[in-house]
Each structure stands twice: as structure tokens, then as C-alpha cells.
Amino acid sequence: MKNDSLIHSDNIWSDIVLFLCLLTLISYGPSYHLAKTLFHCTALVAICGYAFNSHCRIQLKRFFTPPNWNVIALSIALAVVVILTSKSTEMVAVRFRSDLTSIIIPLIVIMPILKPTKKQHWLIYAALITATLMLAAVGIADYHLKQPARYYRTSGSINLPIIYATSVAVVGSTTIAIALQALLKNNYYIAAASGLAFITAVLAIIYSGSRGPLLAIAITSMIAMIYYSYKLKRKRLVVISAIFISIASYCVYSYTPIGTRINNAIENTITNPTSYSSSGTRIQLWQAGLSELSRHPLTGTGVAKHIDHFQERYESDPDFIDPRNIGFIHLHNDIINSLVWMGLLAGPLFLIGIYGPAISSIIYITRRPEQVMSLCAGLTFIISGLTNTPAMRAAALLPYFLVVFLIFSLSNHEAPSENNSR
């Protein structure tokens, strides 16, 4: 029999782990370090569950069914990074290994134990809404408290504006899907709360001045609207949504500081694409990185060793790159950065592990409609990573993985346990 109560009668460990995961997600906004500590404590509780509860051990056997193939891909990605950085003393390489290890190992321990009941689904949705509101509120409050500092970019409690914006976009992108799903079930209170959370998330991203995450959440919102308009059989919703987003985008572009940043980026890209500017620096780094990848296609430059290669090339060819761009510790693009650092052999293995949840969301979205939320979160993370490197930051990986795997766990109640299948 399926357990549709709020609490499992036979597996209290799963409930404890779920509640701790939700608490971790909610606490991320006020304090990333508190959330990370709670995340590690959750992994310890999960280990106790495997040790003392037979139902938890049974769930470990479902390793080759969604979402657990993602766990295997993540394990491979982590192994790749550990091997490639094991002998490195570069600060960036050591931190990269440490950040990945501190998130992926607890995640691998936690995810198989999660098996929420149907009544716990809305508890997860409520946590996503609350987490978005908390995360956005911290950034909005920070922005207004620091005014009238000109062109101030909020970063919440993370101290990195673009990583903060990426996290807000990842968590916040799920709320538009929750709102539309609530409308599908005529749950207007949840729809209103989700809509409010989404609006505050967009406002916080605007205050961060980060263009990539803003574009990412706009694209994924349109995808969610198109998907649910098809489910609701209301084609007008797509047109109305497109008009609304167009008007909102115009207002953001015309009347907020981020509009100036967008305009400057467009002008610099058109008039002088390799100038020393936000967009010009990125273009130069991408060009230089791809040039080095062509010289070391299989092994790459080594993790965080691109700077040495850039310096060597610049000494022989001063036109290779602006010397002011040589010292950047990453290449402002997750895909290019991974391939340049790890080569065409190991780089794709790393990217598959990190982007696996978004890929599997596309595969299973027709059978499991709730996966549109993980698709939104996954695509938001990927798009944000086209102009930055959230895949190498624990502060960005924690909310991303927590959100997508919590949503994947919503399908776990459908899988019969070994006892029930006899």
C-alpha cells in the first residue's frame, strides 16, 4: 500500500532527512554557511538511516532508476576532479576540489533515502516558495540598506553578486512552475504565493545587476508557461505570457540599473567586442581558452593552469590577449572552462555529471509533469553558466542540486518497495 500520510509509518528516517533538506534550503538565504552545515548533518542522519532501517537499505538498491543514475554520473564527475587536482597545489584547484567534494558526497548519501509521500509534495512546494522569498528578501534588504551607493550590486549573504543571482534564479524558477501547476489544480492560494515569490526573485536578480541569471529565468519562465498552457489547453496563456514578459523586460531595461549594464554590453559587443569591459573580457577569455584547447585537446591545460598558458602565449604574441585579462581564475563559461581545464576526455564526463539532472528532466517530463520544475532549475543553472562558472562554486551547487533532486524525489513514491512487490 502507498503511504499518503504526512509522516511515514515505516521509515521515519526518510522523513527526518526530508525535513532537514527543506530546512537547509530555507536557511540558505539568510546564511549559506548555516545551510552547508545543515546539509552535512543531513548526510550523517541518512547514514544512520541506512544503518538502522531496512527500508532505507532497500532504497539503496534502486541505483539504476531515475534519479539515481544522476548519482552515478555525479560520482564520476567528482572522481574526475579529484584525480585531476590530486597533485595540484594551486589555490583555485584545491578550492574547486574541496567545493565539489563538500557538496557531492553528502548529496550521494542523502538522495537515495528520500521517498516523500504524496502529502509531502506540497510541503516541498511550500519550502521552495519560502526559500525563494527568504533568499530574495535578504538581497533586496541588502540593496536598500546599502543605498545610496551608486551602482551597488547586492549579493545577499554570499558576497558574490552573480553567484547570488544564479542561486536566486535557480530556486525562483521553480516557483513559476508551482504557480502554474497550482492553477491547474485550482489551488489559488498556492498560485498567489508562488507568483509573489517569483516576482521577488526577479527583483532580487535585478538588484544584483547580473544579466545572465535574469536572461535564464526569463527563458525558463517562458518554457514553463508554454508547457502548462498546453496542459491547461489554453493557448491564449502563451500569448498573454509573452506580452507580459515583453512589457516587464522593457520596464527592466528602461528603468533599472541592470538595463544600463545590458545596454553597455550590447554596445561594447557590437562596436569593440574585445575591449576591456565586462562583455569584452569574457569574449577574450573564451577566444583564448578555445585557442589553448585546440593546442591541448585531449588533456586540456590542467585545472586552473590556463593562466600560465595565457602568460606564455602573451609573451610570444602580445596581441593574443589583453594582459589585464590574463589573471582571471576562470573563463566565465562553465562549458569552455571545463573543457579547457580538463580536455575533451575528462571535461564532458564532468559536465554530464553536473548537467545530468536537466538532461533527465527533459527525458522524463512527459511521464512526470512535476519534472518541469527541475527542468526550469536545471536550464536556469546551465544558461547562467554561459557567462560565469557556478559549476565550480559550492555556494551555487548546493541550492541547484538540492532543488533538482528534491523535485526528482517526488516520483519516488511511485516505486514499490521490495516488501510491497512480494
* Mean pLDDT score, 249-260: 61
Q: What is the pLDDT of residue 7?
A: 60
Instruction: Tell me what pLDDT residue 18 has.
Output: 93
Q: How far is CA 79 from CA 89, 92, 104, 233, 276, in A?
A: 18, 17, 10, 46, 37
Distances (CA, A) of 360 to 217, 261, 266, 378, 403: 19, 34, 34, 10, 14
Checking if the pLDDT of 149 tops 60, the result is no
Tell me, yes or no, whether 270 lies in a domain: no
Determine, yes or no, domain membership for 277.
no
Find out whether 403 and 127 touch, Cβ atoms under 8 Å. no
pLDDT of residue 4: 54
Q: How confident is the model at residue 276 (pLDDT cuts 50, 70, 90)?
A: low
Specify whether the CB–CB gap between 347 and 354 falls below 8 A.
no
68 or 3, greater pLDDT: 68
pLDDT at 62 over 80: no
Q: Per the domain annotation, does 183 fall within a domain?
A: yes
Percentage of the chain exceeding pLDDT 70 = 79
Distance of CA 223 to the CA centre of its chain: 17
Of 157-161, 322-326, 392-396, 414-418, the one with minimum mean pLDDT is: 414-418
Per-residue model confidence (pLDDT) at position 258: 63
pLDDT digits (tens, 9 = 90+) for 63-105: 545 546 788 889 999 999 999 999 888 899 999 999 999 999 9
Number of domains in the chain: 1
Q: Would the pLDDT of 162 be above 70?
A: yes
Judged by phi (left if over 0) then psi (alpha if -120 to 50, else beta), residue 94 lies in alpha
356, part of any domain: yes
119 pLDDT more than 70:
yes
According to the model, what pLDDT value does residue 266 have?
Answer: 58
Residue 310 resides in a domain = no
Mean pLDDT, residues 319-346 = 92
Question: Stretch 319-329: mean pLDDT, rounded?
Answer: 89
Does some domain include residue 170? yes
Gyration radius (Cα) of the chain, Å: 22
Does 251 reside within a domain?
A: yes
pLDDT at 260: 61
pLDDT of residue 341: 96
pLDDT at res. 419: 40
| Residue 192 lies in domain | 12-263+334-414
Domain assignment present for 239: yes
**211-233 pLDDT tens trace:** 889 989 988 988 888 887 776 66
Which class for 259: exposed (0-12), middle (13-18), buried (19 or more C-beta within 10 A)? middle
Q: For 360-415, what is each residue's pLDDT tens digit?
A: 888 777 667 678 899 999 999 999 999 999 999 999 999 999 999 999 888 765 44
Mean pLDDT (the chain, rounded): 83
Highest mean pLDDT (candidates 22-36, 218-232, 352-366): 22-36
**pLDDT given for residue 299 in this prediction:** 92
**For the segment 282-320, what is each residue's pLDDT rounded down to a tens digit?**
888 999 999 999 999 999 999 989 999 999 999 998 888
Confidence grade of residue 274 (pLDDT, cut at 50, 70, 90): low
* Phi, psi for 194 (deg, rounded to 5): -65, -40
pLDDT, greater one: 159 or 368: 159
Residues in CB range of 91: below 8 A, 6 or more apart: 304
